[in-house]
Chain A
Amino acid sequence: MYKITIDGKELQAEPGSTILQVAIKAGIDIPHFCWHPALSISGNCRMCVVEVEKMPKLQTACSTLVSDGMVVYTNTDKVVKARRGVLEFMLINHPLDCPVCDQAGECKLQDYYLIYGKYESRFREEKLKKRKVVDLGANVILDTERCILCTRCVRFFNEITKTNELGIFNRGDHSEIDTYPGKKLESIYSGNIVDICPVGALTSKDFRFKCRVWFLERTPSICTLCSRGCNIEIHHRQGRIYRIKPRVNMHVNQFWICDEGRYGYKFVNAENRILKPVVKGSSGLVPVEWEVGVIDVFMNLSAIISKYGSGSIAVVASPYLTNEDAYVLMKFAREVINTENFGYLPARRGSYDDFLLRAEKAPNERGLLNMGWKTWGDGAELLREKINNRMIRALYVTGGEGFLSQVKDVSDLLSILDYKVFHMSNREGEVDSINAILPSATFAEKDGTFTNFEGRVQRINRAFGPVGESLPDWKIIKRISMMFGKLFPYEKAEDIFKEISEKVTSYKGIDYLAIGDEGVLTDGI
């Protein structure tokens, strides 16, 4: 270890690290634009200059390696002036259109100007006019006038996705970021360049002009679109998701998420959300109060049990369920319905790559296995067989949208059954033959845990109250069970997890709160 001094603070420094890395670790702010922890050092913005004893020129903290006994100053007159100079240079041709810029409020130019700039403008010339509202393809819009040419986006495609989709064209202050001639962005990770753009040059087509960022609340969560379980932040306001941003977790997704996950949140606030329980009457499906819906489901299930026996009811778990939902559903099947016919419908398989994207398009298949669920087969073949044999007369399905879309000839299959109750969040697919639909809350509206493909237990958090009268799956089950005379004592997801951590071997001793931001790795299935 080296000893170095920054602004009089004595610090331990790993040989081979840079001044900026050491400063960041020690909580000393050295402003910078082009440096990003996941990307190569470019040293082009010149904002991070510092004074180093025995070096005549200012040095860029991002690229200067520490040496033993090095003495660094980050706030001398020389440094302050150089920084102000860099900001002034960046801003002379900048359109200064913060009032209409999506980046306002989370813009490094804006922030640094307020901390390190605050000079009177000395620029009396015509600003350079460059291209605006450039559609880069995929999900990104470029404004070359706002761009400070830090090349973070270029390096992202060169170094992270290795798809080399952006370059710098022209020279001097006419330099512009762009795709290569005739090409558009194709990477499924393109949304990340909006995140790492330190200014408003790259904006998200999806988010543009939707909301000022300072109005957004941020809730840490987990992406549900594949089994990677990328760490995300839900940015929301008044019960509406405005955007999804990646949350750093070096064990799972580093700094990134894919566009599937980033833009796949629309179902949460979709028009087709089911807001109240729906029960099939003589005139088709009609919304009812929860009390009515629960009694209806109880009566019908009881009738099936008395007619065909409790084993004639099959329970279907969904890989979208949290561990807590899945655990309670299992207890419901075994202890309330008293059937051995329970299993899960595996996640839909889709495209995958060798970076983040996994083929299993649901967040918690591994968790289902951990909770003791067995599969019904990829297209629920085992279930189909039992239905065709009339061994099963009624279905209790969670994640109903998945069931309707994944099971082949689902309408024919359902028509054989006497009774079907589905948990669903969105009205999707052939729902007409279903007898009762109970509105379930989405991941954004509940607490709980998912276990990703490699066994990492991670927490989701409720961003806003469930939409309409929907409820987390386990709460729905709790209500139905109550009708059967079974009282589940859980008040919150944490209570269920506590029981899981006592009962499920690979989760033994895990504390719900201690799962924290990075998750906890479990072993075994």
Chain B
Amino acid sequence: MELLLTKRFSIPDAFRIEVYRETGGYRSLQKALQMRPEEVIEEVKKANLRGRGGAGFPAGVKWSFLPKEKKMPVYLCVNADEGEPGTFKDRYIMLKDPHLLIEGIVISSYAIGASKAFIYVRGEFLDCIDTLERAVKEAHREGIIGEKVMGSSFSLDIAIHRGAGAYICGEETALIESLEGKKGRPRLKPPFPAQKGLYQCPTIVNNVETIACVPYIVERGGEWFANLGTEKNGGTKLYAVSGHVKRPGVYELPMGTALREIIYEHAGGIIDDLRLKAVIPGGSSSPVLTPDEIDVKMDFDSLARIGSMLGSGAVIVISEKACMVKTLYVLARFYAHESCGQCTPCRNGTSWMEKIIKRVEDGKGRKEDIDLLLDICDNIKGKTVCPLGDAAVMPVESFIKKFREEFEAHIAFKGCTVSYEREGVLNV
């Protein structure tokens, strides 16, 4: 398969603009500037490019939600606040091929009519910020951004904003609040950012990987891109594989590659050839899968059909050595810690779940705790301001549904019964 997003990962110094240009960079931009903005949007629609941040919303459709009448400035915000446990794909794009992202940003901004774009980078990604800042400078110098992009009448500025460490700022409206200098707390929707976003102006928020696909779509056409993947799931996808596999890492594969193939062929199978116990297929919030479910195609619709999610495409592989209760505790602790605290069910529900799961893990569980957890899930799910509530609930529900006997054993035997050494996968 031809690599797109990762094609320069093996080229030395690809982060430099000369190398980027030598390897075909910024030609798509030149092409895009010859097209009308609507034509660019049309190609992106045809490409079936779905949001790579996790929600999988078609990017072209999102762009077309912008008001037709341009009364206020339009902003593009690139979501580089990659924080979902298990996810580590965007950072490599920023580190290894920052100009691909910048080219995507310029084309996308041209398409949506933005003259100012922001890259909101996760605060811990200091190396990414350095690389991006350097790349933005280079692009400025070469007339890729700034006044009159490549001699056209289009102008664009790119600002890099360093986040302050909250997971919730990856939620698009919290990201906008944070960019505005406020506490990162999600807004009530509607209105959606396309109507009222940054500084109350129409705003598009797209993930790094999503934007990085745009130059290829412009270069080769939406149809070509769509055909790389499965139905309604265009392009390639970066799968970040972690956990108990022999070769953890980021793999660029066609959208819809089977999960089994990702784990056993690309990631080399399970460490020590242990048996597979469970897989979290799309970042920590996606419902867990059992070994008999791994023939699923890794695209948005196929995973949705079996009750899980592609999410960010972060595959967390769990071997038979891991304790599911402890693993769930680690996840629950994360969501309780990262709940912004704005709305009641998430604020109090996530920490309550954490406490119960910890108690079960510590061997002090009660029979009724399992059903209590499920009921707390029900009281959070769909009742919160933003999707963090649902994200916290999905692991709990799915772990209990698929590994209930392990929880029951924990309660009955007052502790862990996994006969191997106890080892949670996500020791964060």
B336 at the interface (CB under 8 A from A): yes
A175–B183 alpha-carbon span in the complex (Å) = 12
- Known interface pairs A89-B347, A123-B352. Does A175 touch B383 (Cβ–Cβ under 8 Å)? no
B385 at the interface (CB under 8 A from A): yes
**A90→B344 contact, CB < 8 A:** yes
**A125→B352 contact, CB < 8 A:** yes
**A172→B345 contact, CB < 8 A:** no
Q: Which residues on the B side are within 8 Å of A174 (C-beta)?
A: 341
A45 at the interface (CB under 8 A from B): yes
Q: Which residues on the A side are within 8 Å of B382 (C-beta)?
A: 57-58
Within 8 A of B (CB), among A25-44: 41-44
B356 at the interface (CB under 8 A from A): yes
Name the residue on A nearest B366 (C-beta).
Answer: A124
Q: What is the CB-to-nearest-CB distance from A126 to chain B, in angstroms, rounded to a whole number?
A: 8
Q: Which residues on the A side are within 8 Å of B351 (C-beta)?
A: 128, 172-173
Name the residue on B nearest A45 (C-beta).
Answer: B344
A210 at the interface (CB under 8 A from B): no
A46 at the interface (CB under 8 A from B): yes
A172–B334 alpha-carbon span in the complex (Å) = 11
Q: Which residues on the A side are within 8 Å of B372 (C-beta)?
A: 122
**A41→B352 contact, CB < 8 A:** no
**A93→B348 contact, CB < 8 A:** yes
Residue from A46, A47, A126, A173 within 8 A of B341 (CB atoms): A173
Residue from B336, B359, B383 within 8 A of A46 (CB atoms): B383
Name the residue on B nearest A41 (C-beta).
Answer: B188
A63 at the interface (CB under 8 A from B): yes
- Known interface pairs A43-B385, A125-B352, A172-B350. Does A89 touch B188 (Cβ–Cβ under 8 Å)? no
B195 at the interface (CB under 8 A from A): no
**B342→A44 contact, CB < 8 A:** yes
B398 at the interface (CB under 8 A from A): no
B384 at the interface (CB under 8 A from A): yes
B374 at the interface (CB under 8 A from A): no
Name the residue on B nearest A122 (C-beta).
Answer: B372
**B379→A85 contact, CB < 8 A:** yes
A188 at the interface (CB under 8 A from B): no
A41–B189 alpha-carbon span in the complex (Å) = 12
Main DSSP-derived SS at the B contact region:
helix
Q: Which residues on the A side are within 8 Å of B359 (C-beta)?
A: 124-125
A148–B379 alpha-carbon span in the complex (Å) = 17
A23 at the interface (CB under 8 A from B): no
**B347→A149 contact, CB < 8 A:** yes
Q: What is the CB-to-nearest-CB distance from A397 to chain B, in angstroms, rounded to a whole number?
A: 57
- Known interface pairs A43-B385, A58-B382, A81-B379. Does A92 touch B352 (Cβ–Cβ under 8 Å)? yes
Q: Which residues on the A side are within 8 Å of B340 (C-beta)?
A: 171-172
A520 at the interface (CB under 8 A from B): no
Name the residue on A nearest B355 (C-beta).
Answer: A125
Q: How many residues on A have C-beta within 8 angstroms of the other chain's C-beta atoms?
A: 37
A170 at the interface (CB under 8 A from B): yes
**A171→B344 contact, CB < 8 A:** no
Q: Which residues on the B side are within 8 Å of A45 (C-beta)?
A: 343-344
- Known interface pairs A149-B341, A168-B183, A171-B166. Does A43 touch B336 (Cβ–Cβ under 8 Å)? no
A148–B366 alpha-carbon span in the complex (Å) = 29
B162 at the interface (CB under 8 A from A): no
Within 8 A of B (CB), among A370-420: none
**B352→A171 contact, CB < 8 A:** no
A93–B349 alpha-carbon span in the complex (Å) = 11
Name the residue on A nearest B382 (C-beta).
Answer: A57
Q: What is the CB-to-nearest-CB distance from B426 to chain A, in angstroms, rounded to a whole number?
A: 19
Within 8 A of A (CB), among B345-399: 345, 347-352, 355-356, 359, 366, 372, 376, 378-380, 382-385
- Known interface pairs A81-B379, A122-B372. Does A86 touch B366 (Cβ–Cβ under 8 Å)? no
A126–B358 alpha-carbon span in the complex (Å) = 12
**A175→B347 contact, CB < 8 A:** yes
A410–B350 alpha-carbon span in the complex (Å) = 69
A233 at the interface (CB under 8 A from B): no
A88 at the interface (CB under 8 A from B): yes
A252 at the interface (CB under 8 A from B): no
A42–B384 alpha-carbon span in the complex (Å) = 12
**A82→B379 contact, CB < 8 A:** yes
Q: What is the CB-to-nearest-CB distance from B414 to chain A, in angstroms, rounded to a whole number?
A: 16
**A172→B343 contact, CB < 8 A:** no
**B349→A46 contact, CB < 8 A:** no
Q: What is the CB-to-nearest-CB distance from B357 to chain A, in angstroms, rounded to a whole number?
A: 11
B339 at the interface (CB under 8 A from A): yes
Q: Which residues on the B side are within 8 Å of A128 (C-beta)?
A: 351
A49 at the interface (CB under 8 A from B): yes
Interchain residue pairs with CB less than 8 A apart (28) = A43-B188, A44-B344, A45-B343, A46-B384, A57-B382, A58-B382, A63-B188, A82-B379, A85-B376, A86-B344, A89-B348, A90-B344, A93-B348, A122-B372, A124-B356, A124-B366, A126-B355, A149-B344, A149-B347, A168-B183, A171-B340, A172-B336, A172-B339, A172-B340, A173-B336, A173-B347, A173-B348, A174-B341
The 4 closest A-B CB pairs, nearest first, are A85-B379, A175-B341, A89-B348, A125-B355
Residues of chain B whose beta carbon lies under 8 Å from any beta carbon of chain A:
166, 183, 188, 336-345, 347-352, 355-356, 359, 366, 372, 376, 378-380, 382-385
Contacts beyond the supplied A85-B345, A90-B344: 11 A-B pairs with Cβ under 8 Å? A41-B188, A46-B383, A49-B383, A58-B383, A89-B348, A122-B372, A124-B366, A149-B341, A171-B339, A172-B338, A175-B341
